[in-house]
Amino acid sequence: MLEIRNVHKSFGNNEILKGVNLTVDKGDVVVILGPSGSGKTTLLRCINFLERADQGTATFDDMTVDLHKANKKEVLAVRKKSAFVFQNYNLFNNKTALENVAEGLIIGRKIPKEEAYKISREALDKVGLSNKYDSYPSQLSGGQQQRVGIARAVALNPDVILFDEPTSALDPELVGEVLEVMKEIAREGTTMIVVTHEMGFAKDVAKKVIFMDGGNIVEEGTPHDIFVTPKEERTRKFLRRVLPGEYDYEI
Amino acid sequence: MNSSFINTEFLIDTFFVALSGVPIALLVTAVALAIALPIGFFLALSRINEIPVLNGFTKVYVSFVRGTPLIIQIFVLYSILPLILAGIFERYEIDFPIYEVNPLWYAFVIFSFNTAAILVEVFRSALKTVNAGQLEAAYSVGLTTSQAYRRIIIPQMLVSTMPNLCTATINLIKATSLGYAISLQEITLKAKVAANVGYNYLEAYIDIFIVYLILCITVEYLFKVFEKRLSRYKAVATA
Angle, helices A142-155 vs A113-126, to 10°: value is 130
Q: Please give the pLDDT value at position B235.
A: 58
B146-155 confidence digits (pLDDT tens): 999 999 999 9
B141 touches chain A (CB under 8 A): yes
- Label residue B98 by pLDDT band (50, 70, 90): confident
Burial of residue B213, with CB atoms counted within 10 A of its CB: 0-12 exposed, 13-18 middle, 19 or more buried: exposed
Residue A26 in 3-state DSSP?
A: coil
Q: Please give the pLDDT value at position A235.
A: 92
Residue of B nearest to A135 (CA): B233
Q: Please give the pLDDT value at position B85.
A: 87
Q: Please give the pLDDT value at position A251.
A: 46
Chain A interface mutation, best of B141, B144, B152, B234, highest count of A Cβ atoms under 10 Å: B141
Q: Please give the pLDDT value at position B67.
A: 95
State the Cα–Cα distance between residues B208 and A42, nearest whole angstrom: 61
Contact B137 A86 (CB under 8 A): yes
Which residues of chain A lie closer than 8 angstroms to B141, CB-CB? 79, 83, 103-104, 108, 152, 156
Mean pLDDT (whole number) for B215-220: 95
B233 touches chain A (CB under 8 A): yes
- Label residue B237 by pLDDT band (50, 70, 90): very low
User: Would you give per-residue pLDDT tens digits along chain A (251 residues)?
Assistant: 899 999 999 999 999 999 999 999 999 999 999 998 899 999 999 999 999 999 999 999 889 999 999 999 999 999 999 999 999 999 999 999 999 999 999 999 999 999 999 999 999 999 999 999 999 999 999 999 999 999 999 999 999 999 999 999 999 899 999 999 999 999 999 999 999 999 999 999 999 999 999 999 999 999 999 999 999 999 999 998 887 665 455 44
Contact B134 A93 (CB under 8 A): yes
ipTM above 0.85, yes or no: yes
**Contact of B109 with B82, CB cutoff 8 Å:** no
B38-70 confidence digits (pLDDT tens): 999 999 999 999 999 999 999 999 999 999 999
A113 touches chain B (CB under 8 A): no
Q: Please give the pLDDT value at position B238.
A: 42
Residue B3 in 3-state DSSP?
A: coil
Given A84, A93, A136, which is nearest B140 (Cβ)?
A: A84
B121-133 confidence digits (pLDDT tens): 999 999 999 999 9
Given A104, A135, A141, which is nearest B141 (Cβ)?
A: A104
A216 touches chain B (CB under 8 A): no
Residue of A nearest to B234 (CA): A138
Contact A93 B239 (CB under 8 A): no
B195-208 confidence digits (pLDDT tens): 888 888 898 999 99
Q: Please give the pLDDT value at position B239.
A: 38
Nearest CA distance, A107 vs chain B (angstrom): 7
In sequence order, what E strands does B94-212 have?
none
Contact A50 B139 (CB under 8 A): yes
B90 touches chain A (CB under 8 A): no
Q: Please give the pLDDT value at position B70.
A: 93
Which residues of chain A lie closer than 8 angstroms to B237, CB-CB? 138-139
CB atoms within 10 A of CB A194: 27
Q: For strands A29-33 and A216-221, give the pairing.
A: unpaired
Residue A30 in 3-state DSSP?
A: strand
Given A48, A90, A107, which is nearest B134 (Cβ)?
A: A90
Ramachandran class of A19: left when φ > 0, alpha when ψ lies in -120 to 50, beta otherwise: left
Task: Note the helical H segments in A61-96.
Answer: 72-81
Q: Please give the pLDDT value at position A37.
A: 86
